Amino acid sequence: MECSIIANKNFSKGTVDPRLFSSFVEQLGRAVYGGVYEPGHPLADSDGFRTDVMDLVKALSVPLVRFPGGNYVSNHTWEDSVGPVDERPVRLDLAWSTLDPNLFGIKEFISWTKKVGTEPMMAVNLGTRGIEAARNLVEYCNFPKGSTLSDLRRSHGSQDPYDIKMWCLGNEMDGPWQVGHKSAGEYGSLAAEVGKALKLFDPTLELVVCGSSNAEMPTFPQWEETVLEQSYEVVDYLSLHCYYRNDENDFLTFLASSVGMDAFIEGVVHVCDCVKAKKRSKKTIYLSFDEWNVWFHSKGKDRQQPKWIIGPQLLEDIYTFEDALVVGTLLNSLMRHCDRVKVACLAQLVNTIAPIMTETGGPAWRQTIYWPFYYASKYGRGEILDLRFSSNSYECKQYGTVPYADPLMVYHPENGELDLFLVNRSPLETLTVNLDLSGFGEHVEVLEHIVLNHDNLKAVNDKEHPDEVYPQVLEGESLFSTDGNLWKGKVLPASWNLFRFTTTCLNRE
């Protein structure tokens, strides 16, 4: 099994927007109660935030965290989640059949984002509510002082505005499961009017309009076209959501999920640009892939969860090693489309379909999928190279011809570093990598090789074995043999790899 890659610093696909490594905390299951927030936990701080969870979040360097939903937002009354905590009402969340105590509201979320060093990305309810509630929420959050709602915020203890820049105009409004589900025409016209009101308040706000809940929706891509025809000039981003699954236990098809993600992104780009052409617009719509992950393990268990309690164990997928490989390829796909995908949120962050798991009252640990996300966030912030590449491939019913190798290269002109993310999709065969780096001058060296590998595809990290799937860092030059700048290396079957090189090329001249 072989692949050949030619990389040249002068051929770039674009620079990654750091917001590609964002995440999502929904008022769902134990994401908040028992995850982010657990007063009484031995490691909780004075705000009730779990410091062990905060440390794991900080290490991921997520630039944005989306909140408060998700499906939750479509029946959410934001006024319930502000003000003195002991006066806040307990509500029924119809999206997840859960009791919502409103103890962790907007002020608490903002304090938490500051402590973990991230920025909020808020969603407004366009399911049961509309322009007035959205306008009021933005005024409450962002107006400095001297208006009724900004002064209300100040009376609630937040003197400074929260200054939330990114706003999602509802969530998955194409989905029949959504409280307040709408047709594309209804939603497009509402989103355009809400967007107009928010931009009248502050034209620098960045607005995300809902695209389809996934590419299999019967209304995709007509939904995107209709919605954009109405809202094009007022919005900045169109959302994409997609979750990948392995119900059939078919490794090769599952590992090809990123080919589906590539096609989804490229299809949505075409629709955006078609509407742009129809409107003779100068403006380009960018993409916010604000929900993506593997999600299927917990579906059966969720049906047995008790309803109308606080913090039920919902969507608690326990991720396997093979899920981590898929997440690695999905990250490659997002980075490869950095010219149009500016924001992406791994859904979600803690406990619910998350890279971080906790036991209520107990420890926190990293799931397998934590690792590819950690390294992509750390080393993926650079220029994505437009590779010339060939590889042995396989045929798969769902996705067609799929290369066994999935490479992505990031060049960092500021220090000359070059990173190769590479997944070997073959479960059985070692992959020989032929890498032509002649476009990088003579002084190229391998810094390190980080590998995520396990002999059991179904291996998981759990409370007892939190580091069962753990990256190994291999140092030294034995990894690649070199003939000038033609490098030859090997990667293990079913492995995620990061090769880091140093070069003396400090710019693209």
Q: Which stretch binds ligand AHR (CB under 6 A): 5-13, 68-76, 261-269, 458-466?
A: 68-76
Task: Give the footprint of ligand AHR on residues 217-276 (CB under 6 A).
Answer: none
Which stretch of DSSP H or E encloses residue 332? helix 321-336
Size of the site for ligand AHR (CB under 6 A): 10
Based on C-alpha coordinates, what's the Rg of the chain?
Answer: 23
H/E run at residue 383 = strand 383-385
Of 70, 188, 195, 380, the one binding ligand AHR by CB under 6 A: 70
Residue 148: CB partners within 8 Å, gap ≥ 6?
Answer: none
Alpha helices in 213-320 (DSSP H): 222-231, 251-255, 257-278, 299-302
Cβ-count burial of 330 within 10 angstroms (0-12 exposed, 13-18 middle, 19+ buried)?
A: buried
Q: Which stretch binds ligand AHR (CB under 6 A): 63-71, 298-306, 455-463, 486-494?
A: 63-71
Which candidate, 285, 482, 505, places its Cα nearest to that of 382?
505
From residue 509, give the alpha-carbon distance in Å to each of 17, 223, 435.
22, 43, 21
Q: Which sign, positive or negative, has the C-alpha torsion 83, 86, 92, 95?
A: positive
Shortest Å, Cβ 393 to ligand AHR = 32
Q: Which stretch binds ligand AHR (CB under 6 A): 67-75, 185-193, 260-268, 301-309?
A: 67-75
- Minimum distance from CB of 242 to ligand AHR (Å)? 10
If we measure between CA atoms, which residue out of 479, 382, 500 comes closest to residue 433? 479
User: Is 291 assigned a catalytic role?
Assistant: yes
Instruction: Establish whether 172 is a catalytic residue.
Output: yes
Whichever of 9 and 66 has its CB closer to ligand AHR, that residue is 66
> Binding string, 161-200, against ligand AHR, x = CB under 6 A?
----------xx----------------------------
* 232: β partners: none
> Judged by CB under 6 A, which stretch of 64-72, 142-150, 384-392, 418-426 contacts ligand AHR?
64-72
Rounded to the nearest 10°, the torsion over CA 327, 333, 335, 339 is: -150
CB of 277 to ligand AHR, least distance (A): 30
In the complex, the smallest distance separating the C-beta of residue 254 from ligand AHR, rounded to whole angstroms, is 19
Nearer of residues 265 and 354 to ligand AHR, judged by Cβ: 354
Among residues 100, 291, 317, 406, the one that binds ligand AHR under rule CB under 6 A:
291
Angle formed by the axes of helices 184-201 and 131-142, to 10°? Answer: 30
Closest CB to ligand AHR among residues 268, 408: 268
Does 69 participate in binding ligand AHR (rule CB under 6 A)? yes
Comparison of 172 and 419: residue with beta carbon closer to ligand AHR: 172
Catalytic position from the list 291, 316, 322, 383: 291
E strands, 141-297, in order: 166-169, 206-209, 237-244, 286-294
> Which residue, 291 or 406, is less far from ligand AHR as judged by CB?
291
Of 69 and 260, which has the nearer Cβ to ligand AHR?
69
Nearer to ligand AHR, 240 or 450 (CB): 240
- Residues of this chain, 292-351, that bind ligand AHR according to CB under 6 A: 347-348
Which residue, 164, 167, 170, 165, is CA-closest to 70?
170
CB of 440 to ligand AHR, least distance (A): 41
Q: Using CB atoms, what's the residue nearest to ligand AHR?
A: 70
Residue 178: CB minimum distance to ligand AHR, A: 8
- The one-character DSSP state at 301 is H
From the candidates 26, 79, 108, 172, give the one annotated as an active-site residue. 172
Structure tokens at 152: 């209300």
User: Smallest gap, in angstroms, from Cβ of residue 191 to ligand AHR?
Assistant: 16
Residue type, 355: P
Q: CA 495 to CA 431: how far, in whole Å?
A: 10
334 C-beta neighbours (distance < 10 Å), count: 25
Give, as ranges, the residues between 71 and 130 that touch ligand AHR (CB under 6 A). Answer: 71
Residues with a known catalytic role:
172, 291
In the complex, which residues of this chain contact ligand AHR (CB under 6 A)? 26, 69-71, 171-172, 213, 291, 347-348
